[in-house]
Structure 1
Amino acid sequence: MSQAAETLLFELGMEELPPGALASLSDALTNNLVAGLEKAGIPHGKATGLGAPRRLAVRIADVAVQQPDRPFEKRGPAINVAFDESGAPTQAAEGFARSCGVDVAALAQLETAEGAWLVHRGVETGQSTAELLPGIIEQALTGLPVPKRMRWGSQSAEFVRPVHWVVLLLGDAVVPATFFGVDSSRQSRGHRFHHPDPVEIARADDYEARLRAAYVAVEMTERRDMIIEGVRAEGERLGGHAVMETALIDEVNALVEWPVVLSGSFDADFLRVPPEALVSSMQEHQRYFPVRDADGKLLPRFITVANIESRDPQRVIAGNERVIRPRLADAAFFWDQDRARPLAERQDGLRAVVFQKSLGSVQDKAQRVAQLASRFATQMGTTPALGERAAALSKADLLTEMVGEFPDLQGVMGRYYAHEDGEAEAVADALEEIYRPRQAGDAIAATPLGQLMAVVDRADTLIGIFAIGKAPTGAKDPFALRRAAVGLLRTLIEGEHAINLHALFSEAGAAQPPGLNAAEQVPALTAFCLERLRAIYLEAGFAAELFEAVRSVLDVNDFEPLDFDRRIHACKDFSQLPAAGSLAGANKRIRNILRRAEALPEAVVDANRLNDTAERELYEAIEARQGDVQRHIEGGEYSQALAQLAELKAPVDRFFDEVMVMSDDPARQANRLALLQRLQGLFLAIADVSALPESV
């Protein structure tokens, strides 16, 4: 007969939670409760985390109402100690029996390799789940990731917000418990305005339906979908499409219990302000969703999600329109004020802005970046003059009113102001592109000058922070150097720039303040970038063997990311060829043979000593392809080179089937070893294919 089970519901009601905390607290509470049940050995079904601004809740299906009975075995004294010579129990045996609550006669014996022992065996009756739940939940609450706790009233309990009610049901029964000074019950609460009266929860399974009737959509995914669909439909009704960023959707979802989508408008004159500033104002300050037309142009409309179904929606809309006007007016004022003074005039002010105490001011950094840009401009498809000008202006928008109000617009506003100042279009665009990619999945800079700036700015930051001893350790990366390294590497690879990392960081290190010995950090920084490169390829689905095949043939202190990328893609292409597995195995065999050889000759093959047909065919096949392979390698066409080498499968297989490399004739043995060295050398000029799996 199956054990009885009921649905468990726990709800903690409180003042409105910080928006950024709801999702993490809900996940943690769900996971902690599940872990507590499992630790107690209580079977259960699916756990569902629920939550809204004023509540955290968990519903778990099919929770056993009692722990299963568990057999136990308690070992006592050794038999030779438990009984005397006549077989009568000693005090040791009797004491053990008393501690177990049985007679000595009820004890069993256990035979082990170490000897025989008295044991007490039995079955421990499981406790009721209701008795265990208060402790399990207390532990779950203690383990929540609450960054800042608070006290309220006269009690000493601390939590993220004051707690007002607790619901704890197992099926239809209230489980008695007290948390944060509040006793559990079956009374929840609905929407603060639409349903301020208590909400009676008869059974745990009724929870979501009862709260929905009280104007609370407690299932977070459902509420999020309601917001997305409502905002999308309203955007279409307005003749455009709503701009819905994931972060804003999640924040709004954590702010409302009953989402009601409304829209409003603002004066079209504000559209003269760069749209990014208007969007930032709407999203960050008001949590509004902007609306764009079919061409992507901003419309003088916005969408908001209210937490109430007003009897007079127009009053709510009018209130939002009154609130947004001064925000947009501020943005327009900043735009007008900032344009009154060219970016170039702000450069000197950057001397008063500290970049890092040991690395000087932001102006010092801009000058170092200008020097580095001049050095690599030609290699990256632009001119030193443009590089120096873009670097000189690259940080100037830090001192504008707009960026002061909206820091996320750094670079964006620099581009707008540079265009207004009449700067070269490439320079203006580079002021924004220097920060690309801004995050994972973002595109790299689109122009050569922007790519140059993105690379040299990050190179200066990386070598400078390494030089002052602040390289990332473990999970700590306060200067976001891992992200900077990934951005630099992606730009060099996707922009197809053949830049040597050692040369780049050496030049950047030479420009750092004296006394830092930045040059000593170049090898460590290059190795750090190589590890970031590994992460990039693994995330992109490349097997670890492919990465190792390339890394093992390159000097880790002297390589080009673009060249590395071409090699690893060539290895991936090669691994898909029918000949790949066989040639990988052959290269392993060659490596082992050459490693065991007492002395390796020069890789010069004497054709006159090739007496066996198989070794002669291999030699001729190599000779026929070597020229083309070398030309492909010199041109960075590694896939084509490996495709040529894949044609050697048949003669290589026949060679190992028919030829004894380690011949008794020393001259013949040396000649065959030279042939294998020559074959191996062709592959190693690209990658160590012996690192690839033999079965592909």
Structure 2
Amino acid sequence: MQQNTLLVEIGTEELPPKALKGLSEAFTEALSSLLNDNEFSFAAVKSFASPRRLAVQVKELSAQQKDKVVEKRGPAVNVAFDDNGNATKAAEGWARGNGITVADAERLVTDKGEWLLYKAEVKGQPLAEVLPDLVNQALKKLPIPKPMRWGNGTAQFIRPVKTVTMMFGDAVIAGTVLDVQAGNYIQGHRFHAPQGATLAHADDYETTLEEIWVIGDFDKRRQRIVEGIATLANELNGQVIEDNDLIDEVTALVEWPIALSASFDKKFLAVPKEPLIVTMKDDQRYFPLEDGKGNLLPAFIFITNIESKDPAQIISGNEKVVRPRLADAQFFFETDKKTTLAARVDGLGNILFQKQLGSIKDKSARIAQVAAEIAKQLETDATVAARAGLLCKADLSSQMVLEFPETQGVMGMHYARHDGEAKGVAEAIFEHYLPRFSGDALPATKAGAAVAIADKLDSLVGIFGIGQVPKGDRDPFALRRAAIGLLRIIVEGNYRSLDLEKLVAVSMDSFGAVLTADNVKADVVDFLLGRFRAWYQEQGIAVDVIQAVLARRPTSPVDFDQRVHAVTAFRELPEAEALAAANKRVSNILAKVEGQLPQVVTDSLLSEAPEKDLAKAIIAARDASSAALQQGNYADALKALAALQQPVDVFFENVMVNADDDAVRQNRLALLNQLRELFLQIADISILN
């Protein structure tokens, strides 16, 4: 069968840069899946994406669908024929619909019966006949939340479509996609090659693009940007602040990237570097530079989409653009310093946190109260934590944070230092926002951890306390993120003294009579424990391990973490499978016991050797695991309990638990109960698969 290269390109107006990569991947996946589903064979698929195009190149694609045999099952034989063996109307109607007679039908025999069967050979259609429809289907599958219309047509896409190119080898595939007739014309660089080009062959796509000043391969274009930035940074003796998202965005903004460097007045370095970095990166898509000590340099690198004969003009233009933005940051900083953070606290009363829960000032007072209590549990200065809690939101009313919201917390730290607040207070103000996202740093100080936990608890307890529990995708106060951040701080900080029930109780006390919902403490604790599942699954820990620990509901996050890792290690032991099965069997037996479970094992009632051996083994395992359990060393405790596998197996093979003698039966149930309780001190391993 004939094979060749297919090229499909959708030429558009400038596509949204933050969506470009995802759109390209989705288009490639959708089109390749449709080709595969429609019986077209191919060897490889490659994506292309630039600001004004989405394209897919398919190598060694068959020119026609594979022929296939379609089986059409008819009525059952006992329905297809009457008692005299004559075809019924049902059989004749089915046969007529398939263009055959009943006599032509084959038989399909299965263990469930016999049916009439027609095998139809369907010839594959040529690619040229089906491709336009497949491309339209693929485009409809793209993640476009708000498609737009343009001109007088009815087509809708994320941006107006200017050209459609569909070529199979050197032949144009005719058809209409999004109201545009397909051809072999491709758009060139908007400035260097506005005339575009005519594509001669689908294999020539990438090289033809480069001839018209377009690097169509997203990854290749990105690598060129990375290398250009690295070269200039080295020449300037600086280091680029790593930001992969920004590199992706800039890659999606240019078709022919050229890296250039520029500078700004050193006087702006008197402003904290964070707002300067924000305005350069977010407003201008520049790459700021730091020295080896993390100090901002008065220089930046930017990517232009033009290879200019006079780059000095472009550099000068960008320096002129950034100067007023830096001057704004300088003005905000100097103005904000005239008012202390402490003086800003009253103003927080005008900023609403939540209608029923009060203002940000109310929240700050609660954070201060709870942070002081947590600090005591962490054996650090409660006064520092309380002061930081009171001031932690004060920078929200500063001009700098109003202009650059990303700098909240960090500007609070700078203003606290300027005001002469204690070092620990300034650090805790910044750290209380941590972690801001998955994988972000955690508070390095105990005071910072105390304020961060108090802040996250306040949101969780407050919102749960007024009955606004997150449901589905709705989580306007980001409580799921707050919960995981709180757990990370406690677990990774190894704060053993902190217990979720006690923390929630302290936070609830800070609200006074504001909370109206029932069961707030239990609901918040359960919500926090439930977040462990999502967190651990990201780490690759098995769901049944998490469920085994959750069944015991340990409310100390550090203790919970130790159990999870211990059960994960236990799960790999050769004894684990048999012991999990045995515990499941024990749980099922004990679940059927009515009334109080027997607790005490009477030695004189142990008559058979296997039950005597198990009783001795349980005592030995209890003694062997006791010290490890007291130290929270659950891994060693489970290793000690693994020795029970052989006596447990022998017991179940040779001993009838439900003996006729009630006293013997009760004694054996007590023995099994003690066995189960040993494991339940750590987790319910009967849940393990």
Please say whether Structure 1 and Structure 2 have the same fold, judged by a TM-score greater than 0.5. yes
Which residue of structure 1 aligns with residue 380 of structure 2? 382
Residue by residue over 1:35-71, the C-alpha shift from the partner in whole angstroms, topping out at 9 and shown as x without a partner, is 3324433333322221101111111222222222333
- Report deviation, 1:438: 0.7
Q: Give the whole-Å Cα distance in 1 for the aligned partners of 2:682 and 2:538.
A: 23
Which residue of structure 2 aligns with residue 275 of structure 1? 273
Which residue of structure 1 aligns with residue 140 of structure 2? 142
- Report deviation, 1:196: 2.1
Counterparts in 2 of 1:652 and 1:172: CA distance versus 1, 3 Å:
same
- Report deviation, 1:589: 4.9
Which residue of structure 1 aligns with residue 228 of structure 2? 230
Q: Give the whole-Å Cα distance in 1 for the aligned partners of 2:120 and 2:673.
A: 72
Residue by residue over 1:198-242, the C-alpha shift from the partner in whole angstroms, topping out at 9 and shown as x without a partner, is 212111111011111222110111111111122122211211221
Structure 1 stretch 598-607 or stretch 62-71: which is displaced more? Answer: 598-607
- Report deviation, 1:684: 1.7
- The letter of the residue matching 2:335 is Q
8 Å CA contact 1:600–1:673 kept in 2: the answer is no
8 Å CA contact 1:600–1:670 kept in 2: the answer is no
Which residue of structure 1 aligns with residue 680 of structure 2? 684
- SS of 1:479's equivalent in the other structure is coil
TM-score normalised over the length of structure 2: 0.89
Counterparts in 2 of 1:690 and 1:107: CA distance versus 1, 3 Å:
closer
CA RMSD of aligned residues (A): 3.5
Counterparts in 2 of 1:468 and 1:43: CA distance versus 1, 3 Å:
farther
- The letter of the residue matching 1:486 is I
Residue by residue over 1:488-515, the C-alpha shift from the partner in whole angstroms, topping out at 9 and shown as x without a partner, is 1111222223333233334434444856
Which residue of structure 2 aligns with residue 337 of structure 1? 335
- The letter of the residue matching 2:383 is A
- The letter of the residue matching 1:433 is E
Q: Give the whole-Å Cα distance in 1 for the aligned partners of 2:343 and 2:165.
A: 63
Q: Give the whole-Å Cα distance in 1 for the aligned partners of 2:84 and 2:489.
A: 89
8 Å CA contact 2:154–2:179 kept in 1: the answer is no
Residue by residue over 1:638-674, the C-alpha shift from the partner in whole angstroms, topping out at 9 and shown as x without a partner, is 3343344345556656666776666666555544543
Residue by residue over 1:581-637, the C-alpha shift from the partner in whole angstroms, topping out at 9 and shown as x without a partner, is 554455445445545667877433344566766655655555456456444434433
Specify which of 450, 458, 461 is matched with residue 460 of structure 1.
Answer: 458
- SS of 1:377's equivalent in the other structure is helix
- SS of 1:58's equivalent in the other structure is strand
Residue by residue over 1:542-561, the C-alpha shift from the partner in whole angstroms, topping out at 9 and shown as x without a partner, is 22232222222337xxx222
Q: Give the whole-Å Cα distance in 1 for the aligned partners of 2:402 and 2:581.
A: 61
Specify which of 638, 652, 660 is matched with residue 642 of structure 1.
Answer: 638
Which residue of structure 2 aligns with residue 567 of structure 1? 563
Counterparts in 2 of 1:503 and 1:116: CA distance versus 1, 3 Å:
closer
- Report deviation, 1:339: 0.9
Structure 1 stretch 464-473 or stretch 269-278: which is displaced more? Answer: 464-473
Establish whether residue 165 from structure 1 lines up as the match of residue 158 from structure 2: no
Establish whether residue 545 from structure 1 lines up as the match of residue 544 from structure 2: yes
Establish whether residue 246 from structure 1 lines up as the match of residue 244 from structure 2: yes
Q: Give the whole-Å Cα distance in 2 for the aligned partners of 1:70 and 1:492.
A: 61
Structure 1 stretch 203-212 or stretch 353-362: which is displaced more? Answer: 353-362
Q: Give the whole-Å Cα distance in 1 for the aligned partners of 2:679 and 2:81.
A: 77
Q: Give the whole-Å Cα distance in 1 for the aligned partners of 2:49 and 2:384.
A: 54
- SS of 1:185's equivalent in the other structure is coil
8 Å CA contact 1:5–1:65 kept in 2: the answer is yes
Q: Give the whole-Å Cα distance in 1 for the aligned partners of 2:170 and 2:676.
A: 75
Q: Give the whole-Å Cα distance in 2 for the aligned partners of 1:114 and 1:580.
A: 45
Counterparts in 2 of 1:296 and 1:95: CA distance versus 1, 3 Å:
closer
- The letter of the residue matching 1:158 is Q
Which residue of structure 2 aligns with residue 674 of structure 1? 670
8 Å CA contact 1:358–1:468 kept in 2: the answer is yes
Q: Give the whole-Å Cα distance in 2 for the aligned partners of 1:249 and 1:360.
A: 41
8 Å CA contact 1:19–1:254 kept in 2: the answer is yes
- The letter of the residue matching 1:528 is F
- The letter of the residue matching 1:286 is Q
Q: Give the whole-Å Cα distance in 2 for the aligned partners of 1:76 and 1:618.
A: 63
8 Å CA contact 1:509–1:518 kept in 2: the answer is no
8 Å CA contact 2:69–2:120 kept in 1: the answer is yes
Which residue of structure 1 aligns with residue 414 of structure 2? 416
Q: Give the whole-Å Cα distance in 1 for the aligned partners of 2:643 and 2:80.
A: 80
Q: Give the whole-Å Cα distance in 2 for the aligned partners of 1:24 and 1:238.
A: 34
Residue by residue over 1:124-154, the C-alpha shift from the partner in whole angstroms, topping out at 9 and shown as x without a partner, is 3322211111222222223333333334444
Q: Give the whole-Å Cα distance in 2 for the aligned partners of 1:660 and 1:109.
A: 58
Specify which of 186, 201, 204 is matched with residue 202 of structure 2.
Answer: 204
Structure 1 stretch 231-240 or stretch 138-147: which is displaced more? Answer: 138-147
* Pairing of 1:283-302 with structure 2 (within 5 A): 283-302=281-300
Counterparts in 2 of 1:513 and 1:45: CA distance versus 1, 3 Å:
farther
Counterparts in 2 of 1:6 and 1:477: CA distance versus 1, 3 Å:
farther
Q: Give the whole-Å Cα distance in 1 for the aligned partners of 2:105 and 2:642.
A: 72
- Report deviation, 1:20: 1.4
- Report deviation, 1:446: 1.1
Specify which of 410, 423, 426 is matched with residue 425 of structure 1.
Answer: 423
- The letter of the residue matching 2:546 is F
Q: Give the whole-Å Cα distance in 2 for the aligned partners of 1:692 and 1:87.
A: 58
- The letter of the residue matching 1:412 is V
Return 5+ residue gaps in structure 2 as ranges.
Answer: none
Which residue of structure 1 aligns with residue 527 of structure 2? 528
Structure 1 stretch 592-601 or stretch 483-492: which is displaced more? Answer: 592-601
8 Å CA contact 1:370–1:388 kept in 2: the answer is yes
Q: Give the whole-Å Cα distance in 2 for the aligned partners of 1:88 and 1:591.
A: 62
Q: Give the whole-Å Cα distance in 2 for the aligned partners of 1:261 and 1:409.
A: 28
Specify which of 22, 30, 41 is matched with residue 28 of structure 2.
Answer: 30
8 Å CA contact 1:259–1:305 kept in 2: the answer is yes
Q: Give the whole-Å Cα distance in 2 for the aligned partners of 1:14 and 1:601.
A: 73
Which residue of structure 1 aligns with residue 9 of structure 2? 11
Q: Give the whole-Å Cα distance in 2 for the aligned partners of 1:265 and 1:442.
A: 30
8 Å CA contact 2:3–2:63 kept in 1: the answer is yes
Residue by residue over 1:300-356, the C-alpha shift from the partner in whole angstroms, topping out at 9 and shown as x without a partner, is 211111111111122222222222222212211111111111011111111111112
8 Å CA contact 1:48–1:60 kept in 2: the answer is yes
Which residue of structure 2 aligns with residue 603 of structure 1? 599
- The letter of the residue matching 1:508 is S
8 Å CA contact 1:53–1:256 kept in 2: the answer is yes
8 Å CA contact 1:78–1:115 kept in 2: the answer is yes
TM-score normalised over the length of structure 1: 0.89
Return 5+ residue gaps in structure 1 as ranges.
Answer: none
8 Å CA contact 2:598–2:667 kept in 1: the answer is no
* Pairing of 1:180-195 with structure 2 (within 5 A): 180-195=178-193
Structure 1 stretch 335-344 or stretch 229-238: which is displaced more? Answer: 229-238
Percent sequence identity is 46
Q: Give the whole-Å Cα distance in 2 for the aligned partners of 1:689 and 1:114.
A: 46
Structure 1 stretch 407-416 or stretch 661-670: which is displaced more? Answer: 661-670
- The letter of the residue matching 1:524 is D
Q: Give the whole-Å Cα distance in 2 for the aligned partners of 1:591 and 1:120.
A: 55
- SS of 2:190's equivalent in the other structure is coil
Counterparts in 2 of 1:6 and 1:363: CA distance versus 1, 3 Å:
same
- The letter of the residue matching 1:448 is K
- SS of 2:41's equivalent in the other structure is coil
Structure 1 stretch 648-657 or stretch 187-196: which is displaced more? Answer: 648-657
* Pairing of 1:123-138 with structure 2 (within 5 A): 123-138=121-136
Which residue of structure 1 aligns with residue 474 of structure 2? 476
Q: Give the whole-Å Cα distance in 1 for the aligned partners of 2:457 and 2:583.
A: 38
Specify which of 394, 400, 403 is matched with residue 401 of structure 2.
Answer: 403
Which residue of structure 2 aligns with residue 366 of structure 1? 364
Q: Give the whole-Å Cα distance in 2 for the aligned partners of 1:440 and 1:254.
A: 24
Which residue of structure 1 aligns with residue 499 of structure 2? 500
